[in-house]
Amino acid sequence: MADFASAVRKGTMGAGRLHRRLPYRHQIEARGGSIDVFAAIEALEILLLLRPLDGLLGAYLRDPAPGILITTRRPLNIQRFTASHELGHSELKHDPSLDDDNILRRMPMDSGPQDDLQEVEANAFASAFVMPSWLIAWHCNRHDWQAQHLRLPSVVYQLALRLGASYEATCWTLALYNFIDRRQARELVETQPKVMKTALLAQYTPQDYRGDVWLLTERDADTRIDGSRNDLFVLRLAEHSGGGYLWDIDQLRASGFAAVGDALEEGDPEAVGGHVIRRVTATTGEAERGLMSLDERRPWDLDLPLTSLSVEYDFTGPEEVGYSRAARRSLLEAA
């Protein structure tokens, strides 16, 4: 157990050192978002290629120079965790490694009799790099999620999306940092993400549930979200219709999204200028990268919105065959 604990500590400390070398904390605290693992690998000048690997999530190669392979056959959050795991191998000066689904099943808190401590170190690095405690705290503060909220599957699922991590990995990482205890983490893991997706989408039934479902509110204003092409969105916004103010859904469509549901929940209609809750369900449609902007305004007064919501988004994931998107952007900037 001492060796296992030392391996977890070494991997976690390695991730912390790398974060201190990179500018992500400052950037995220200014605009939100998740850790761009692929941009970090590009910044460190480590060659990364994406291929449709059979039976492997990724690989770390050391000779003749450090290199990383990542599969294209998994969702973006798995690609991100795998890339972080392989980056851990590189940062911790490990031997070459071929990594399969075992890296997803290995929890950073539990040791087994046959544990490969190199893999324990790399997994601890991956969790701490993708989900550092300061990033979890930032999102919790932004959304006013208190300790009791982190026992709710629906809240942890939304936190996982903003971290760019899988739901299960987020549950165990919250326990690792003592935001919740291990019993609560086990209870959370028992709830499958599809349950939260179905509840959020209410009356809308997608073709499948492979995409994630984001719940966006006014607390997401002026932040950034990173997802995939088949994600869906539920915007839950206070609408002061009693005062004549309405959210301009045409702006959502102009941003490239397709509205597939629009409903009202009662707020306090008896109050002067009372409000209702507007729930708009949308798909990415033609949206890839850009800015989602919505104004709450009186239709006859186009110059004075009561409230505005702007969210920067990137829904071009998952990563495809070839170089990562970060590497391609770097090549274009250098051209």
Tokens describing residue 79: 């690609």
The CA distances from residue 18 to 41, 93, 156, in Å, are: 11, 13, 26
- Asked if 240 and 275 touch (Cβ cutoff 8 Å), the reply is yes
DSSP β-bridge partners for residue 310: 293
User: Quick check: 106 pLDDT over 80?
Assistant: no
Q: CA-based Rg of the chain, rounded to a whole angstrom?
A: 21
The distance in angstroms from the start CA to the end CA of the chain is 51
Per-domain boundaries in the chain: 2-130, 134-189, 198-317
Phi, psi of 103, deg, nearest 5: -70, -25
Q: Any idea which architecture 198-317 has in CATH?
A: Sandwich (2.60)
Residue 104: predicted pLDDT: 87
Amino acid in the structure at residue 202: A
Q: In whole angstroms, give the CA distance from residue 130 to residue 37.
A: 7
Regarding pTM above 0.75, the answer is yes
Number of Cβ atoms within 10 Å of the Cβ of 5: 12
Average pLDDT score over residue span 185-200: 96
What CATH code is assigned to 2-130?
1.10.10.2910
Residues of the chain with pLDDT > 70, as a percent, come to 94
The label of the residue with tokens 């919105």 reads 305
Q: Per-residue pLDDT tens for 62-89?
A: 988 899 999 999 999 999 999 999 999 9
